[in-house]
Amino acid sequence: MSAPRVGVLGLQGDVREHLAALTGVGADAVRVRRGIELDHVDALVIPGGESTTIGKLLVTFDLLEPLQKRVRDGMPVFGSCAGMILLADRVLDGTADQVGVGGLDITVRRNAFGRQVESFEGDVGFAGLDEPVHAVFIRAPWVEDFGPDVQPLARVGDGQAAGRIVAVRQGTLLATSFHPELTGDLRVHQLFVSMVKEQLR
């Protein structure tokens, strides 16, 4: 099978790091900023950044409805941090005008780890991976609640946030509170690309 074409939503956020990680696991990685580009990808990564800004830009670039349609039609999407917030059906501590893509039956809390904690790192066990993932959290959300079709994949191991869910999967949708694109550990991208291949089979 030829390499799946995986887009990275390139409106704002850490786009280049995702393109590099996807290329590193054998995908044909392309930046997506226009509807025509979205039409030509098999799957999409929504990067970290600022969910309110990315949401507004999705509207400005006429991408919100086409993206919602692709999600409904089963396109695999991986959202990291702001991307998780954008995929969530319900957002706590969002702004009044916050726009989302939705599709993932979760309730996320934005900036959940506390305002004073801009970022921290820690190892989290991740379902299906032998070794823990070193997770970088930057003003990160966590998952407060989830529906019956959602599988929690990772929880914070210790500290004040111990037990909080920080990675989930629901069918073709994958989301992490943390940033696997920043650590050089490609296993989460590998997992996503294998989900894409599965879907294309």
CB of 103 to ligand GLN, least distance (A): 17
Is the Cβ of residue 4 or residue 11 nearer to ligand GLN in the bound state?
11
Distance CA 153, CA 168 (A): 5
**Residue 144 annotated among the catalytic residues of the structure:** no
Smallest gap from Cβ 51 to ligand GLN, in A, equals 3
* Cα 107 from Cα 176, distance rounded (Å): 13
| Of 37, 50, 144, 185, the one binding ligand GLN by CB under 6 A | 50
51 or 170: CB nearest ligand GLN: 51
Query: How far apart are the C-alpha atoms of 67 and 94, rounded to whole Å?
Result: 20
CB environment 19-43: b (16+ within 10 A), e (fewer): bebbeebebebeebbeeebbeebbb
CB of 13: closest distance to ligand GLN in angstroms?
7
For residue 65, indicate whether it is catalytic.
no
* Residues in contact with ligand GLN, shown as a per-residue x/- string from 101 to 140 under the rule CB under 6 A: ---------xx--------------------------xx-
List CB contacts of 90: < 8 A, sequence separation 6 or more: 106, 107, 108, 145
Given the residues 37, 65, 121, 179, select the one marked as catalytic.
179
Q: How far apart are CA 19 and CA 14, in angstroms?
A: 9
Catalytically active residues are: 81, 179, 181
- Give the residues lining the site for ligand GLN (CB under 6 A): 48-51, 81-82, 85, 110-111, 138-139
